[in-house]
Amino acid sequence: MSTARTARGGGRRFAALRLSLSSLRAHKRRFAGTFTAVLLGVAFLTGTLVMGDTLRASFDSLFGSAAAGTDAVVRSTSVVTVAGEGQGTRRPVDASLAGTLRDTPGVAAAEPQIQGAGQLVAADGEPIGGKGPPTLAGNWIGDTALNPYRLAEGRAPQKSGEVVVNRGAAKTGGLKIGDTTTLRTPDPVRVTVVGLATFGGEDGMAQVTYTGMTRADAEKHLTPKPGEAASILVRAGPGTSQQELVDALAPVLPAGVEAITGQQSAEENTDMISGQFLTLFTVFLLVFSGVALLVSVFSIHNTFAIVVAQRTRENALLRALGAVRRQVVGTTLAEAAAVAVLASAAGLLGGIGVAAGLQALFPAVGFPFPEGDLVVSGLSLALPFAVGLLVCLGSALLPAVKAGRTAPLAALRETAVDDSGASRRRALTGAGLLAVALAVTLTGVLVTPSIWLAGTGAVLVLAAFVVLGPVASSVAVRVLGGPLRGVTRGLARRNALRSPRRTAATATALMIGVAVVSLFTVFGASLKATMDDTVSRSFAGDLAVSTPAYGAGGSGLSPRLAPAIAALPEVETAVGLGKGVAEVDGEGRALTVTDPATLSRSFDLGTVRGSLDGLGANGIAISDAEAGKVGLEPGDTTELAFTDGSRRTFTVRAVYQESELAGSYVVTREAWAPHRTQDADTLVSVTLKDGVAADDGRAAVETVAAQYGNPEVQSRDEYAEASAGGIDMMLTLVYALLALAVVIALLGIANTLTLAVHERTRELGLLRAVGQTRAQLRAMVRWESVLVAAFGTVGGLVLGGFLGWVLVEASEGAGDSPFAFALPPLPLAVVALVGLAAGALAAWRPARRASRLDVLRAIATE
């Protein structure tokens, strides 16, 4: 009997599977939207993972090839790292140590490596790079095995003023061998290009630029004093391994100096790229993949919910013929699994195509993607496939369970149109969830500032919006559709009201996309408003000479620029802000190096306790927020540890209130000079004398700036706008990535309308029979789509605006600086118009199909 029961069970499963496959073949169009949504989401996720693998492997190969001839790197163990600023500043080593190392058994060659910042000026007078990736300069190493760069054209520098540049920088700047240009170190140096080089076989490492100088020039322009080097590169003799070489070097190294293998150095460089840029870049893309997949969930769920409603009689007949609930559920899930497998497989191929497209696109936007084959790991294929399968099956689970609950008597019903509404239980549950969500969010924002608490509340708010969607859809459609007049538009409004649950599910997909767009729009506008407020409040100068406002590249400004500008008859004061690093209480801190006596004339520091005058070589000024953290007051002392290994005690002579532009720690140039590395300013604030016209003062300052590498001179408003320039770039990228989520949402709307047209075939035929024209029918479907899109768009704007406020307020509570909240009306209006236009566009094909229905066949449809 057990064997017979097992056979019957197996037969039922195979029968359910055959039924599912035959249903899919008969109703392919029903699942077109689901197939496309899964395909796009999986393709984006696959493309992101494949691109990350390829970039990581390319950088591994790049650094491995560049460092292939270096068997050991000798460097200082003393390093000061400021949070969020990469590897930190390492103490230099004595370059003469290379001679000692050459005499060590097992050493074939040892060369000091001098590194610093050096920004080339292009043929058109504009700086090359400097908006993120570093602009490097150093000594050209004669030993070809130790030099990570390979001479591709021309020759090595032989005398002062001659340089080799990487070929990618030369192409970007329109430079060729024999050209003379300026190298900002940051002091301007006139150089002649005598050679072009490659790095690891490539024209350069992404947008990083490199300038190789003679050793004498490198020591003169890149180090505080001759005889210092960033590290010493060592090549082993025949038969000596890298580890054996390191062991042999250890006994001859002075205290505070270490040797690591060349492989370890290459891995550190790779980890720096992978751990910072690649990880951040990949996570950034994965977030948008997640948004796209989340939107897909609602579209897929809606499709299966409608299909189950349309097949009510069919499922009831199956139940009447003896099918059990498990078989009906299995049939629906089998259909979802079949769609998921096919769509995910297609998505994997599409994702590889996406990665290949990005590999070709990156060079066109100025980010050279390393050449070579795409790297496709098993995880990069297995994970997206599994995610696509889970998303599709998870989205179809509830409709499948509902299908299994179909009663056999439902076969006697005349219609299968889903007219489900919103239950009272849903309203109460949603209202309770919303109350909890608001309480958690407001606590994390206003009571106990916490980004994590506010984030948890924000997720709960999103869940509450989803739960309350069917409840709100009826009210929203009535309000939004209230102004619509006429029979056609009235019918469209009633169709949207017919199934609040379906309307809400369809609109939710678009709502999420619009909410994320609105969130970033509000946050970006708030960042820009904060920048404007900061400059307006803290910057008292008339003109600003600055390095790029965003990114970590560039060489900075010459410290001699501010005194030169201050000497102009049109200028009242010119104060430069330099940058240094030191450890305070064991933590790396950024120091602002300036003339404190004139600082308050160009920057509003708020209330100052103590005096900024006379800081001298052993005085320091601290911001009020930082003083509260470390427990210091005017007159107290603190010890600073510098990268040169020295420790000095400083007296706190002033505590100032505002620190947005001045930073948290201020020291004089006199105090920083003994410990400086490559000295540079990041900003020069210029105050003109009374009666000097702005244009005249600016022209005079530009004349002097041209002698120091031609940095940009800006008015206060231009400086504020430039400071926020990176925000616009970020928003452009965000909008481009979110376009996929919006496309999936539109596919969901189009698919819902198509299925709705199918289930209302008889109804539409009757409308045509009583006189409705094809144009009126198309208009009715379009207006229904616009109402659904309007509900999703308005909900997305409200949700996105609220979440943007939460993010801004939570960021202010977690930081030291004030954060300005701003609602940009024009960008949000554009988002609203795009949402409505998208709704009309999504209805184009369903409306066209509805208008082409044969009237007699439509009336005869059951």
Amino acid at 573: T
Q: Is 116 exposed, middle or buried, given 0-12, 13-18 or 19+ CB atoms closer than 10 A?
A: buried
Copy the structure tokens of residue 423: 């239950």
What would the mean pLDDT of 240-266 be, rounded to a whole number? 91
Distance CA 72, CA 60 (A): 18
264, 521, 733, 746 from 831: Cα distances, Å: 50, 9, 16, 14
Mean per-residue pLDDT, 113-128: 88
Helix 262-272 with 32-66: angle, nearest 10 deg = 150
pTM value? Answer: 0.74
Pairing mode, strands 209-213 and 162-166: antiparallel
pLDDT value for 102 = 92
Contact 656, 623 (CB under 8 A): yes
Give per-residue burial for 269-281: e unless 16+ CB within 10 Å, then b.
bbeebbeeebeee
Q: DSSP letter for 155, please.
A: -
Strand 257-261 with 72-76, pairing: antiparallel
Distance CA 502, CA 135 (A): 55
* Average pLDDT for 429-444: 87
Q: Which element (helix H / strand E) includes 83?
A: none
Least confident of 9-18, 360-369, 713-722: 9-18
Calculate mean pLDDT across residues 427-454.
84
Q: Is 182:188 a contact under the CB 8 Å cutoff?
A: yes
Burial label, 267 (beta-carbon count in 10 A; 0-12, 13-18, 19+): middle
Confidence of residue 18 (pLDDT cuts 50, 70, 90): low
Q: Running DSSP on this structure, what letter comes out for residue 766?
A: H
| pLDDT at 765 (0 to 100) | 74
Q: Assign 83 a pLDDT band (cuts: 50, 70, 90).
A: low
Going from the N-terminus, what domains does the chain have, and what CATH number goes with each?
A: 67-274 (no CATH), 473-540+717-862 (no CATH), 559-708 (2.40.40.20)
pLDDT at res. 593 = 92
DSSP 660-697: TTT-SEEEEHHHHGGG-SS--EEEEEEEEPTT--HHHH
Sign of CA dihedral 344, 350, 354, 359: positive
Q: How do 231-236 and 587-594 pair as beta strands?
A: unpaired
The segment with the largest mean pLDDT, out of 16-30, 45-59, 484-498, 674-688, is 674-688
Per-residue confidence at 731, pLDDT binned at 50, 70, 90? confident
Residue 362 has a pLDDT of 66
Token code pair at residue 407: 């009663």
Instruction: Answer whether residue 495 shows pLDDT above 90.
Output: no
Reply yes or no on whether the pLDDT at 6 is more than 90. Answer: no
Sole residue written with tokens 């499948």: 400
Tokens of 750: 């189009």
- Average pLDDT of span 481-487: 76
Given this model, what pLDDT does residue 73 score? 94
For residues 147 and 145, give the distance between their C-alpha atoms in angstroms, rounded to a whole number: 6
Residue 374 three-state SS:
coil
Residue 631, SS3?
Answer: coil
Express each pLDDT in 619-639 by its tens digit: 999 998 888 888 889 989 999
Model confidence at 9, pLDDT cuts 50, 70, 90, reads very low
Tokens linked to 626: 């930082």
Residue 2's pLDDT band (cuts 50, 70, 90)? very low
pLDDT for the residue 321: 66
Cα-atom radius of gyration of the chain, to the nearest Å? 34
Q: For 372-376, 705-709, 825-829, which range has the lowest pLDDT when averaged over its residues?
A: 372-376
Residues in the chain: 862
For residue 788, the surrounding DSSP H or E stretch is helix 774-814
Whole-number average pLDDT of the chain:
81
Confidence of residue 406 (pLDDT cuts 50, 70, 90): low
Note the pLDDT of residue 814.
Answer: 54
pLDDT at 700 > cutoff 90:
yes
- Backbone φ and ψ of 700, nearest 5°: -65, -45
Residue 634, preceding bond cis, omega within 30 degrees? no
Angstrom distances, CA of residue 394 to CA of 333, 390, 426, 713: 9, 6, 21, 57
Tally of CB atoms within 10 A around 712: 16
What pLDDT, on a 0 to 100 scale, did the predictor assign at position 368? Answer: 54
The listed range with the strongest mean pLDDT (294-303, 565-574, 659-668) is 565-574
Query: Using one digit for the tens of pLDDT, what is the confidence trace for 408-426?
Result: 655 555 544 454 555 677 7
Give the tens place of pLDDT for each residue, 577-615: 888 889 887 788 889 999 888 887 788 888 888 888 878
Strand partners for 188: 184
Question: What distance in Å separates the CA atoms of residue 615 and residue 596, rounded to the nearest whole number?
Answer: 7
Taking 90 as the threshold, does the pLDDT of residue 154 lie above it?
yes
What is the pLDDT at residue 3? Answer: 45
Query: Comparing 652 with 444, which gets the higher pLDDT?
Result: 652
pLDDT at 357: 79
Q: Kindly report, residue by residue over 156-215, the tens digit of the pLDDT.
A: 999 999 999 999 889 988 999 999 999 999 889 999 999 999 887 777 665 778 999 999
Cα–Cα distance, 439 to 441 (Å, whole number): 6
Residue 103: CB atoms within 10 A of its CB come to 9
